[in-house]
């Protein structure tokens, strides 16, 4: 996949510039796509446990999107997130498949979002993994997990073929309000 594919996977779910986070961002493929979609009015918090990958991402951001504010934070997503402002949206691209128990991570994501904040999930459309993608999450499984985790309005946005586990998808859900209303 290239930058155009990354943008296409996210674009139906990004509304307005706002404040967003990219979780498990690595070298920034989806952070760059998010910056492209948000433009200079956007602000991004990019979280990953690999400081070297974040430094590489910072160089790419300065080169391609110098006017977008990006804050890189070295963070292990298995632990509580650092203090973040209330987020309009979160991108979790190719990150949940590293967690057998996804609900604690989703709880932290939900808590970081504003009411009706958006979660854009990019994941392999499979329920059985391999050593590199140990715990993938099919879209059907995501629908059920999202509802259990306090998200509503779950919808499939895009799919792309993948060399790994055949297909990758992008889905959007938003933080349901405490009453559970969609």
Q: What are phi and psi of 170, to 5 degrees?
A: -120, 130
pLDDT for res 162: 87
pTM: 0.94
pLDDT at 180 over 90: no
pLDDT digits (tens, 9 = 90+) for 52-108: 999 999 999 999 999 999 999 999 999 999 999 999 999 999 999 999 999 999 999
Kindly state the tokens that stand for 3. 């930058």
Mean pLDDT, residues 161-171: 91
Closest residue by Cα to residue 50 from 33, 31, 35, 72: 72
Q: Residue 19 CA to chain centroid, in angstroms?
A: 13
Which tokens in the block code for residue 172?
Answer: 């959007």
What is the pLDDT at residue 15? 85
Helix (H, G, I), strand (E, B) or coil at 31: helix
Say how far residue 108 (Cα) sits from the centre of its chain.
13
Q: To the nearest 10°, the Cα dihedral for 22, 137, 103, 172?
A: 50
> Quick check: 179 pLDDT over 90?
no
Inform me whether the pLDDT recorded for 22 exceeds 70.
yes
Among candidate residues 18, 28, 35, 83, the one with its CA nearest the CA of residue 57? 28
Predicted local confidence at residue 126, as pLDDT? 94
Residue 46 has pLDDT above 80, yes or no: yes
- Across the chain, what does the average pLDDT equal? 94
What are the structural domains of the chain? Answer: 3-175 (3.40.50.150)
| pLDDT per position as a tens digit, 100-131 | 999 999 999 999 999 999 999 999 999 998 99
Residue range 146-171: mean pLDDT, rounded: 94
How confident is the model at residue 164, as a pLDDT? 80
Residues whose CB is less than 8 angstroms from the CB of residue 7 and which lie 6 or more positions away in sequence, other chains included: 33, 36, 37
């Amino acid at each position: 996949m290239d930058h155009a594919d990354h943008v296409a996977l996210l674009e139906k779910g990004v509304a307005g510039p706002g404040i967003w986070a990219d979780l498990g961002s690595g070298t920034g493929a989806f952070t760059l796509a998010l910056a492209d979609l948000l433009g200079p009015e956007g602000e991004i918090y990019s979280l990953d446990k690999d400081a070297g990958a974040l430094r590489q991402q910072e160089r790419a951001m300065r080169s391609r999107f110098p006017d977008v504010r990006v804050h890189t934070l070295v963070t292990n997503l298995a632990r509580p997130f650092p203090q973040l402002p209330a987020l309009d949206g979160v991108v979790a691209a190719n990150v949940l498949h590293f967690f057998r128990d996804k609900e604690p991570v989703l709880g932290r994501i939900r808590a970081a979002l504003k009411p009706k904040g958006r979660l854009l999930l990019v994941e392999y459309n499979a329920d059985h993994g391999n050593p590199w993608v140990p715990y993938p999450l099919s879209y059907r499984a995501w629908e059920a997990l999202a509802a259990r985790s306090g998200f509503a309005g779950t919808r499939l946005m895009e799919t792309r073929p993948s060399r790994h586990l055949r297909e990758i998808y992008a889905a959007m859900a938003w933080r349901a309000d405490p009453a559970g209303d969609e």
